[in-house]
Amino acid sequence: MAAGRRTVGLALRLGWRAHPAAAVTLALLTVLTGLLPIGAAWCTKVVFDGLATGAPAPRVIGFAVAGAVLGGLSVVLGYLAAQVNAVAQAAVALAAGEELYRRVAGFVGIAPFEEPAFRDRLALAEQAAQQAPQVIVSFAVTAGQSVLRVAGFAAVLVTLNPSIAALLLAAAVPELFIQLALARRRAAAAEAANPSFRARTLFQSLLTDVRAARESRIFGLGDLFRDRMLGALRQAYAVELRAGRQAALVQSGLALASAAVLAAGTVVALRGVLRGELGIGDLTLFLGALASLQGGLSAVLAQLGEVGATVRLFGHYARLVGTDASLVDGGRPAPPLRLGLTFEDVWFRYRPDGPWVLRGVTLTIPARSLVGLVGVNGAGKSTLVKLACRFYDPERGRILWDGEDVRDLSAASLRRRIGAVFQDFMAYDLTAAENIGVGEPTRLHDTDAIRGAARTARIDETLAALPRGYATMLSRIFAGEDGEEGAALSGGQWQRVALARSLLRDDADLLILDEPTAALDPQAAHELTRALRQARTGRAGLLISHRLSALRDAGLIVVLDGGVVAEIGDHDTLMAAGGAYARLFSLQAADYQDERVRA
Ligand SMILES: Nc1ncnc2c1ncn2[C@@H]1O[C@H](COP(=O)(O)OP(=O)(O)OP(=O)(O)O)[C@@H](O)[C@H]1O
Ligand SMILES: [Mg+2]
């Protein structure tokens, strides 16, 4: 309950912050539109009473006109309120999106993005953040109006027939609880349907994604994906429809009960008139009050149910923006790397109940020197890279940046000192210049720096020769600003762009390259390895490659095997030791032997 109140408070504050003027205007309009119908009903009563008692014509006509004017005014104000509400709603959606995504983008770690539960929460939070403040505010608005109206009519009713008034108000209590229970079910249904809706989106994107389109055609996956998409959708709708059916049944029962109370009230009132206790004006007022009171109460209660469901969903938003679902950021800025980056008995697994990926890794990447990392697929090389960037924290052991635990450093300042090409680098749907520029957002428009990095990565000529040079969109699904079509790059060209991106930050103390030449042709790989050696001068480097020849001149080569450091040393030492590295190196060398080459 307290959590619910906090959530409502948060939603209302969000509404207030988003557009204070709209909030105040709405509150004023609420009071006015709540009071006007009571005035109109009163005028009608005076008219009927006047007619029955033979009051002077100008008075009767005056009240009739006043009643009509009040009625018309309340309709106009209703439209005005709807417009102001729309303004407030847009402002709230923007403010909520801003807050939610600032928080999500600020997560220190990346583990939440790999959790299905987090994805579900994010989807619900997104949906609720757009709706909740608006639903809660408009509930507050209509509830405010209804309460005023209900109170007014209840006062009228109490003076005319207290027992009927009491009966009506008492009947509202069970309805309140029933509506709240329905709300809980509706929210639970939305939560239960969400994973299915997400699955639907996934298969939908597989049916339309360019890359998936190729495999989907060669393997004939279209029917499979379509069936899974429809299956997920069917499941989601089944959950929602079941909840909807229950709600419709219960609401119908409530409507019948209301009708019974209304009928009883009408009978009582008619008997009063027949006995001469009530005038004809009283009768119209009584019936009007009865219908309005009951309608008002039911509307408030039904809306309360609606708002209850929304508040529960908005709880996901509140929890997301209120807590950091991820690692805790350290406070100290990372100093320049003078000694090195050290892994000290690092144990890591991706899930608390998962298998160990790193099992007591100890190694140092000394400042200004190059370390090569070798190992079979799944040995844990890329995992080591992700830990160095503090995307995750080790479960045991420490990672030290110049002797300081990276957990004590501000993650942003640590990452400012690192340049990286990840194994699964991004190909952004942006222009060629921006695709490199995002490597250092302060240089997004620094053409010279961008072209310099592109030259080092051996991609400058290719990009300059595109239809619009560096301003060409590198996308087949988004057109450029003036609608011109984008260009497509080859796999190896994209890898060079990713390399250029990492080189743009030329003041980074540590350059991490995870398989930077995997997609390059032999000559390009050879040239790039040399170019990178120059570009790296003065900085530490961690180079991961299955092409062992690229690592030959690394000061230190580390062989990772099953999450432990199996061998460590320079090329000559490791070859002399005749272990795993020597075996792998000889294997690769043998593959390249050819009598005709040697001759
Ligand atoms: N995000 C993740 N969640 C769970 N497990 C993961 C995740 N990423 C990697 N793993 C697991 O961790 C192990 C090590 O993976 P990692 O990517 O570090 O290997 P690698 O040495 O870089 O291999 P490769 O040479 O193929 O790039 C693998 O068994 C993999 O299944
Ligand atoms: Mg890897």
Residues facing 485 on adjacent strands: none
Pocket test for ligand 1, best of 348, 349, 357 (most atoms within 8 A of CB): 357
Residue 237 CB contacts under 8 Å (≥ 6 apart), including other chains = 193
Q: Is the CB of 593 under 6 A from ligand 1?
A: no
Per-residue confidence (pLDDT) for residue 411, from 0 to 100: 93
Q: What's the 380 CA to ligand 2 centre distance in angstroms?
A: 7
Tell how far CA 310 is from the center of its chain: 17
Q: Is the CB of 372 under 6 A from ligand 1?
A: no
Nearest to 179 by CA among 126, 137, 143: 143
What CATH number matches the domain at 426-507, 3.90.1150.10, 3.90.320.10, 3.40.50.720, 3.40.50.300? 3.40.50.300
Residue nearest (by alpha carbon) to ligand 1 atom 4: 350
Ligand that comes closest to the CA of residue 357: 1
- CATH of region 337-417+508-599: 3.40.50.300
**Distance (Å, whole) CA 298 – CA 262:** 12
- Name the region of 368 (left: φ>0; alpha: ψ -120 to 50; beta: rest): left
Q: What's the 401 CA to ligand 2 centre distance in angstroms?
A: 22
- Residue listed under structure tokens 């709540």: 34
Q: Is the CB of 355 under 6 A from ligand 1?
A: no
Q: Is the CB of 545 under 6 A from ligand 1?
A: no
Domain 2-322 in CATH 3.40.50.2300? The answer is no
Residue nearest (by alpha carbon) to ligand 1 atom 28: 378
- Residue listed under structure tokens 């983008």: 105
Q: Is the CB of 549 under 6 A from ligand 1?
A: no
Q: Can you read off the two tokens belonging to residue 108?
A: 């220190």
249: exposed, middle or buried (Cβ count in 10 Å: 0-12, 13-18, 19+): exposed
Q: What's the 391 CA to ligand 2 centre distance in angstroms?
A: 15
Q: Is the CB of 442 under 6 A from ligand 1?
A: no
The secondary structure of 422-451 as a DSSP string is -TT----SSBHHHHHHTTSGGGTT-HHHHH
User: Using one digit for the tens of pLDDT, what is the confidence trace for 381-440?
Assistant: 999 999 999 999 999 999 999 999 999 999 999 999 999 999 999 999 999 999 999 999
All residues with CB under 5 Å from ion ligand 2: 381-382, 423
pLDDT per residue as tens, the chain (599 positions):
566 777 778 877 887 888 899 888 887 887 788 778 778 888 888 888 888 888 888 888 898 899 889 888 988 988 998 898 888 888 888 888 888 888 888 888 888 888 888 888 888 888 887 777 777 766 776 777 777 777 877 787 777 777 767 776 776 777 778 877 888 888 888 888 888 988 898 898 888 888 888 888 988 999 999 999 999 999 999 998 998 898 889 888 888 887 887 788 788 878 888 888 777 777 777 777 777 777 777 777 777 777 877 888 888 888 887 766 568 888 899 999 999 999 999 999 999 999 999 999 999 999 999 999 999 999 999 999 999 999 999 999 999 999 999 999 999 999 999 999 999 999 999 999 999 999 999 999 999 999 999 999 999 999 999 999 999 999 877 776 777 778 889 999 999 999 999 999 888 999 999 998 888 888 888 888 888 877 777 899 999 999 888 888 888 999 999 999 999 999 999 999 999 999 999 988 887 777 676 54
Spans of all domains in the chain:
2-322, 337-417+508-599, 426-507
Backbone φ and ψ of 130, nearest 5°: -75, -35
**Distance (Å, whole) CA 270 – CA 433:** 82
Residue nearest (by alpha carbon) to ligand 1 atom 31: 378
Q: What angle do CA 353, 355, 360 make, to 5 degrees?
A: 115
Query: Same CATH fold, 426-507 and 337-417+508-599?
Result: yes
Residue nearest (by alpha carbon) to ligand 1 atom 26: 377
Q: What's the 377 CA to ligand 2 centre distance in angstroms?
A: 7
For the beta carbon of residue 215, count every other beta carbon within 10 angstroms.
Answer: 12
Residue nearest (by alpha carbon) to ligand 1 atom 16: 380
Measured between alpha carbons, how far apart are the two ends of the chain, in Å? 85
Q: What angle do CA 575, 579, 583 make, to 5 degrees?
A: 75
Angle between helices 116-160 and 162-208 (to 10 degrees): 160
Q: Which amino acid would we find at residue 476?
A: R
Q: What's the 372 CA to ligand 2 centre distance in angstroms?
A: 13
Q: Give the DSSP letter of residue 324.
A: -
Per-residue confidence (pLDDT) for residue 296, from 0 to 100: 75
- At 383, which helix (H) or strand (E)? helix 381-388
Q: Is the CB of 408 under 6 A from ligand 1?
A: no
Q: Is the CB of 115 under 6 A from ligand 1?
A: no
Per-residue confidence (pLDDT) for residue 388, from 0 to 100: 95
CB of 458 within 8 A of CB of 449? Answer: no
Q: What's the 130 CA to ligand 2 centre distance in angstroms?
A: 39
**Distance (Å, whole) CA 128 – CA 258:** 32
**Distance (Å, whole) CA 67 – CA 32:** 15
Q: Is the CB of 350 under 6 A from ligand 1?
A: yes
SS3 of residue 390 by DSSP = coil
User: Using one digit for the tens of pLDDT, what is the confidence trace for 483-535?
Assistant: 777 888 999 999 999 999 999 988 899 999 999 888 888 888 888 888 887 77
